Structure 1
């Protein structure tokens, strides 16, 4: 089978981290026919040199590595989606499959990562599929951390792997690898050609595949990429450098968003990564860029400190407001306190305190304890006042209940009485005592009132029944009195007082003989009869005033005096007119008008 028919199917990790080869073990090669093994690349692991099988097994190309190391045993067949651990003891994050990386890159030569590598002929071995595990995660504070450059770790001793299970269909002499479920090929983010070219200027590749980076202190070996074009080897380590640049750029953009602890952790991690990274690029410039971040981090930490102090002061002020509100509730007059509303308000303040404690800034312990003592004291005072208030009210309710039960007993004893007038008065007195007894508990008070009302109702129902019977009996009396009313009202208007009074006396005698009328009609008929009697009395009084000798004597004397005064004033007025004295004329006229008015009133009252 041609070597061209077996192109390498790269499945790079998130940021293109290098990995070591996972060649087939010599034991597996001696027992089975040659088959291509998928290379599993642990992060920063040492490369494993190609191992020739005893029976003309194809040589496996080694991935770039920093220093040669013993071969690491791997599973006989590994898909790009699920790469088996290369050393059985490497960290889990260094053995992550390429498809789980945050930013997967496409295969270098366009082949799907899920396709198994075909068998490789011994004369012209083809590179096996590369599966690059994800690098160590970046600092926890970063949302999308770029890959961290891990420190090379020596691989453990080889562990024999089980032989591959033959499947039907492969070429004779080859043991195909088991096929894993297909997975989506990772997509590689294209690199900026300008940045790639600028970084490549700081590196070179020796004839043996060793890659060097040029730094201020001189050249330094960063790894080896044998049996590969120099451009690919250099691009591999340049990509690492660009990953570091991306991490620095991401950290710069996130400085305003990170906490103080995350700033320190991320900065320390970057400083460690740019110390001696296995990468090719302007590492000196990158180190300077990272060192300049220290000042920005310090400035941001100072801002965080100021913000934290301001938030702490604001939280302290709010806690003081909570305490003041609780103390105000506790200081309320117990008589006027709305206990339910105040209790809910105090509970809301407690929940607000808990929320501030959970999610707010941490306060000074001494200050917070002092505020909590005040808050707790206010709550204790409120609860004590509430218990005392309700205890006193319960005692009052008990006393009211006892008093009302006694009133109910008296009311029930009177309910069978037939002394309607006196018993009705007793019930009025009981009602006054009931109001003065106070209130029991709502339900008990309602029940007591129902019993008290029922006792009264028995008496008043019996009285109403008696009155109804009397009303039926007095119905004929009403008709007689209505006829008498018609005769009495016929006297109006009164022309002869003496005749009207004589007729009224006769009607009153007949009125009394008619007897009682129904209670509902008493006021109506009595009122009409009283109106006629009042009209007669008014005329009698007026006649008496006219015929009274004493009244006549007083009227005559007053009349004589006023007439003499009027005559004298008329003489004074005539004299003043003759003299032309205006003031005397006016005084005489006013006095004369007053005397004449008095005389007219006296004469009218005598009629």
Structure 2
């Protein structure tokens, strides 16, 4: 007979394993010595040790689901209880019990993590909805439109919530986008209508200008062309393509008339050269108004210069585009300054800019506080996520503050 702390072989070759419940028969051995029999059944025990160790490692280092882990544990538990092996089977059973506790603990941790992720996703989507609803009333068509498209991409990257909550939030989000889209469409439809009205008005001006182009009634026709030019400016802008075409026709008709008049008044070439010299002096005087530092004074000075310009009369045809372009450049600069001043003093636009800046500042402060609290509590993952979101909000705030500076605030 042969034995060791966990098993023995009796005189008949029967092999026993010792457990807390007493000895159990695990097999018989007739082919060799009792020591060989014990060695054989110990190797089977070692195999069970390896299997349990592998499962412990999988549970510890992989994303093995709780369900699959429990199935594997129960399989090994059955294997151990029915094992034909010699070794500390009770210890193996305790390791499996400990593994069950570990799996249950991980199951609970994952449940808590899932709930937390769901809460964070809901909060994120509620924030997206709130921002979309705020943007739905914006008149910054390009900026707001781009931001809404970015919000959609952000939404797509967030996990789904329960169906009812997700559907309700998406409905609000989608409705806000729809409201903005309808408002933007109506705005540009109104612009299109205004431009079409301007196109029709300018078409009539072009037709009259073309009808006058072969007139030889020099004085009244030239005066009418000046009136037509004033009406042209008052008509507003048509669509870009139509505007350019109509302008070319309008100026072309004037060119035909004034070219014919120039031929008739060839003797006035000397006078026109003198006019050119005078207009060059006025152009120099006008260019000294730039850059515009005192809008009111620049506007009054340019008006005076322009009145004198108009009173001078025509210049040689080949010199006209260049000299007029110099005056137009000054006029455009003054107009740009007027538009900038209007934007700067527009109370509605300023109020919208201040409101947006305030909301973004509040959001940045809130996110900064949340990120700081998360980091202080040791929640690094949440802190990093909040800090990343904070970077995006801070960028928007910087942009809004830059826009607000245009209002002098």
Give the TM bin, normalised by the shorter chain: 0.5 to 0.7
Residue of structure 2 aligned with 1:392, choices 190, 194, 206: 190
Deviation at 1:295, TM superposition (A): 3.3
| 1:446 and 2:250 matched | no
User: CA shift at 1:203, angstroms?
Assistant: 3.7
Match of 1:430 among 228, 233, 236: 228
8 Å contact kept, 2:8–2:38: no
Q: Which residue of 1 aligns with 2:48?
A: 241
Identify if the C-alpha distance between structure 1 residues 386 and 377 changes in structure 2 by more than 3 Å, giving closer, same or farther: same
5+ residue gaps, structure 1, are 1-199, 476-517, 522-607
Shift of 1:375: 0.7
CA change 1:216–1:415 in 2 (3 A) is: same
Distance 2:71 2:148 in 1: 43
8 Å Cα contact 1:240-1:278 kept in structure 2: no
Change (3 A) 1:267 1:444: farther
Q: 1:403 to 1:277 in 2, by over 3 A?
A: farther
Give the corresponding residue for 1:175: none
| Equivalent runs, 1:515-526 vs 2, <5 Å | none
CA contact (8 A) 1:405 1:448 kept: yes
**How far 1:242 sits from its partner (Å)?**
2.2
Correspondence list, 1:341-380, <5 A? 341-356=143-158, 360=159, 362-380=160-178
Aligned mates of 2:314, 2:197 — CA distance in 1: 41
Q: CA RMSD of the aligned region, Å?
A: 3.5
1:44 is matched with which residue? Answer: none
The TM-score, its normalising length taken from structure 2, stands at 0.57
Find the counterpart in structure 1 of residue 111 from structure 2.
305
Is 1:381–2:187 an aligned residue pair? Answer: no
Which structure has more relative contact order (CA 8 Å, sep 6+)? It is 1
Cα drift, residue 407 of structure 1: 0.8
Greater fraction of residues in helix: 2
Structure 2 residue aligned with 1:202: 6
1:462–1:274 Cα change, 3 Å: farther
1:294 aligned partner = 100
Preserved CA contact (<8 Å) 2:7 2:17:
yes
Match of 2:19 in 1: 215
2:307 is matched with none
Any idea what the Cα deviations from partners look like across 1:155-210, whole Å, max 9, x if unmatched?
xxxxxxxxxxxxxxxxxxxxxxxxxxxxxxxxxxxxxxxxxxxxx74244578876
Partner of 1:62: none
Contact 2:58–2:64 (8 Å) recurs in 1: no
Max Rg structure:
1
- Corresponding residue for residue 338 of structure 1: 141
C-alpha change, 1:208 and 1:295, in structure 2 (3 Å) is: same
Partner of 2:18: helix, strand, or coil? strand
Task: Give 1:296 shift.
Answer: 3.3
Give the CA deviation at 1:410: 0.7
> Alpha carbons of 1:464 and 1:474: their partners in 2 closer, same or farther (altered >3 Å)?
closer
Equivalence for 1:527? none
- Structure 1 residue ranges, 4+ long, deviating more than 6 angstroms after superposition: 206-210, 472-475, 518-521
TM superposition shift of 1:395: 2.2
Q: Determine the C-alpha separation between the residues in 1 that align with 2:245 and 2:271.
A: 39
Q: Could you list the per-position Cα deviations for residues 372-413 of structure 1 after superposition, in whole angstroms to 9, with x for gaps in the alignment?
A: 111121122122223322332332222222111111101111
Change in 2 beyond 3 A, CA 1:418/1:246: same
* TM-fit CA distance, 1:322: 1.1
C-alpha distance in 2, partners of 1:473/1:322?
70
Equivalences, count: 272
Q: For each residue in 1:125-161, what CA deviation from the matched residue of structure 2 results, as whole angstroms up to 9, or x when unmatched?
A: xxxxxxxxxxxxxxxxxxxxxxxxxxxxxxxxxxxxx
Shift of 1:314: 1.2
Cα deviation digits, residues 201-257 of structure 1 (max 9, x gap): 4244578876543222233344567646436523431332222341354156338x5
Deviations 1:475-521 (A, max 9, x none): 9xxxxxxxxxxxxxxxxxxxxxxxxxxxxxxxxxxxxxxxxxx9879
Q: 1:247 to 1:474 in 2, by over 3 A?
A: closer
The 1:520–1:371 alpha-carbon spacing in structure 2 relative to 1, beyond 3 Å, is closer
Query: Could you say if the C-alpha distance between residues 233 and 458 of structure 1 is closer, same or farther in structure 2, counting changes exceeding 3 Å?
Result: same
The question of whether the paired residues in 2 share the 8 Å contact of 1:401 and 1:440 is answered with yes
**Structure 2: tracts of 5 or more residues without a match:** 274-312, 317-409
Indicate yes or no: 2:218 matched with 1:414: no
- The change in CA–CA distance for 1:250 and 1:447 in structure 2 (over 3 A counts) is same
| Alignment CA distance shift 1:318-1:428 (3 Å) | same
Distance 1:290 1:426 in 2: 104
CA distance in 2, matches of 1:219, 1:207: 16
**1:13-28 equivalences in 2 (<5 Å):** none
The 8 Å contact of residues 209 and 227 in structure 1, kept in 2 or not, is answered as: no
Change (3 A) 1:278 1:244: farther
Matches within 5 A, 1:511-590: none
CA separation of 1:307/1:426 partners in 2, compared to 1, >3 Å: closer, same or farther?
Answer: same
Does the 8 Å CA contact 2:16/2:24 hold for their aligned counterparts? yes
